[in-house]
Amino acid sequence: MTSGATVLDDITIADAIAMLSQATDALLQGSLASLSDGEFVAVMRDYEMGKRRLAGFEHRLIDGVETRCLPQKAGWKARTDKYLEATLHLGHADAASRVRAAGLLGTHQQDGQVVPPVLASTAELQEQGRISADHARVIAKLVDRIPDKTDPVQREVTEAQLAELATRSTPDDLSKAGARVLDRLDPDGELTTEADRQRRRGVVLGKQGIDGMSTISGELTPTARALLDPIFADLARPGMCNPADPESPWQAEGITAEVLEAAAKRDTRTAAQRQHDALVAFLRPEMGPTNLGQHRGLPVSTIITMSLADVEAAAGVATTASGGTVPLQEALVLAEKSKPFLAIFDHHGRPLHLGHSKKNRLANPAQRLALIAAERGCTRPGCNAPATLTQVHHVTDWAKGGATDIENLTLACDACHSLVGDGPDNWKTVVMPRDSENAGRIGWIAPRLVDPTQTPQVNDRHHAGEQATAAFERSLRP
């Protein structure tokens, strides 16, 4: 054992580092070829958990750097990030991120006493390997939005709810679900006021460079985002508005699926380039909102869903078909001159019934609107495609007698829809049974290689509010 080192179960820190190095050598030199697919997936998960747990030790190292005043001794004053950059050859962003994480998730020495982490629940779950550094960063941003006047106990409870949500969500999903958790702290919308949003709004066009190009940056209000999203959903699709393709359509009205598909195959632009070209097309004199035509069977317009309960309470947020949210007061202003629709759902969130008056394979616009309100996006588990990027899918195929009724319809993006089939490597869709937790919702069954149990799963990515409610109810259980 190394003299003077801290001893943990008769193994010093230095010994443990040496063992970690040896284990890393074994991982790098070992063969993965002999593993079955199931064993390979298990190895990936175990490795991810172990890597996450090491972050807890990293926090201790950074606390040690500050406790020993190493930056000051090296001439960096109190700049721990600068010390890490110079000592470990880290980039500035990486070093700053580690220092911030240690400040929130690590224990500290203060006046001879051990001070627990600021985000205690998050730190505990990270040390268990159940959440990642990205999860922790999202939680930190959400907690930072909690008003200072919030009761300290409620603050701790909220942080614990966010940490528990993180164990069942991706960081991207956690941002949405976490926002709904915060809504419960202030249902009147005082967390971020309208004055705060209006103060931060703005678009900045940078100076033109020698090559004539200009940078653009800024922040959009929820209203501006809700109005811009459907334009991009229509005009920024692959194949649309491509200046390098003389046969590329500049508006969807009257364009057949075959023409658009052929143009998409010729399209090599990035998503950012497509959005740039879509904006150019929209700003052309002959274009504009009145000439945008239809997108996936509905007029290109902002579709906003709000519940009757939220309208009556004049609180909460409304959801757009592109996956965004708009504060209810702003949504009501947008709705003043709109064409309203009323959709009635059961207590599981599914439309009660909306069928065709005649046999028809294609869903009508009213059915699609009902699906947008109920499902908000692609229903395959893990997919975050919003409703604007989906098509209507028959759970029981039309060719097999499946009716074009709302109970047999769901939303699926093009990529996920192509995965459905009868083969062993295809996904299957089913209506969840009445005795299940998600009765009436659409479940997806993964191929046996992905899920040997063949258990239907639902997609909660577009239902952040429901996730937040479930987390809140679980926190109240003894």
Close Cβ partners of 465 (under 8 Å, ≥ 6 residues apart): 180, 183
Dihedral sign, Cα of residue 252, residue 254, residue 258, residue 263: negative
Instruction: Work out the average pLDDT over 89-95.
Output: 88
Dihedral sign, Cα of residue 460, residue 465, residue 471, residue 473: negative
CATH number of 365-471: 1.10.30
Q: What is the mean pLDDT of the chain?
A: 79
Predicted confidence (pLDDT) per residue in 363-388, tens digit: 667 677 778 777 888 999 888 888 87
The tokens for 18 are: 């040496």
* Residues 41-67: b if buried by 16+ CB within 10 A, e if exposed: eeeeeeeeeeebeebbeebeebbebbe
- Confidence (pLDDT) at 219: 83
Q: Which range among 128-142, 284-298, 428-442, 460-474 has the greatest average pLDDT?
A: 128-142
- Confidence (pLDDT) at 356: 46
Question: What span, in angstroms and rounded, lies between the C-alpha atoms of 160 and 84?
Answer: 31
Close Cβ partners of 307 (under 8 Å, ≥ 6 residues apart): 316
| Residue 345 DSSP SS3 | strand
Considering only residues 120 and 383, tell me which one the structure prediction assigns the higher pLDDT.
120
Considering only residues 286 and 217, tell me which one the structure prediction assigns the higher pLDDT.
217
Instruction: Work out the average pLDDT over 32-48.
Output: 92
Instruction: Work out the average pLDDT over 194-201.
Output: 72
Considering only residues 304 and 241, tell me which one the structure prediction assigns the higher pLDDT.
241
Predicted confidence band at 235 (pLDDT cuts at 50, 70, 90)?
Answer: confident
Considering only residues 188 and 451, tell me which one the structure prediction assigns the higher pLDDT.
451
Considering only residues 164 and 197, tell me which one the structure prediction assigns the higher pLDDT.
164
| Residue 444 DSSP SS3 | strand
The tokens for 311 are: 């309208």
Question: E strands within 37-124?
Answer: 108-110, 113-115
Q: List the chain domain ranges.
A: 1-30, 38-185, 203-340, 365-471
pLDDT at 308 > cutoff 70? no
pLDDT at 286 > cutoff 90? no
Please give the helix or strand (H or E) that residue 430 lies within, else none. Answer: strand 428-431
Considering only residues 336 and 172, tell me which one the structure prediction assigns the higher pLDDT.
172
Provide the 8-state DSSP code for 433: P
Predicted confidence band at 466 (pLDDT cuts at 50, 70, 90)?
Answer: low
Whether 59 and 102 have beta carbons less than 8 Å apart is answered as yes
In sequence order, what are the beta bridge partners of 427? 420
Instruction: Work out the average pLDDT over 240-255.
Output: 82
Instruction: Work out the average pLDDT over 216-243.
Output: 85
Instruction: Work out the average pLDDT over 233-238.
Output: 86
The tokens for 126 are: 């990270």
Question: What span, in angstroms and rounded, lies between the C-alpha atoms of 277 and 275?
Answer: 5
pLDDT at 332 > cutoff 70? no
Cα 49 to chain centroid distance, Å, stands at: 21
Question: What span, in angstroms and rounded, lies between the C-alpha atoms of 225 and 324?
Answer: 8
Predicted confidence band at 218 (pLDDT cuts at 50, 70, 90)?
Answer: confident
Close Cβ partners of 60 (under 8 Å, ≥ 6 residues apart): 106, 107
The DSSP secondary structure of 215-270, one letter per residue, reads: -EEEE--HHHHHHHHHHHHHHTSTTTT-TT-TT--SS-TT--HHHHHHHHHH----
- Confidence (pLDDT) at 349: 54
- Confidence (pLDDT) at 355: 47
Instruction: Work out the average pLDDT over 285-307.
Output: 54
Least confident of 175-189, 234-248, 346-360: 346-360
The tokens for 214 are: 């200009």
pLDDT at 342 > cutoff 50? no
Interstrand relation of 108-110 and 113-115 (parallel, antiparallel or unpaired): antiparallel
Whether 444 and 379 have beta carbons less than 8 Å apart is answered as yes
- Confidence (pLDDT) at 304: 63
Instruction: Work out the average pLDDT over 192-218.
Output: 76
Q: How many CB atoms lie within 10 A of CB 139?
A: 28
* Residues 334-366: b if buried by 16+ CB within 10 A, e if exposed: bbeeeeeeebeeeeeebbeebebeeeeeebbee
Predicted confidence band at 191 (pLDDT cuts at 50, 70, 90)?
Answer: low
Instruction: Work out the average pLDDT over 289-310.
Output: 54
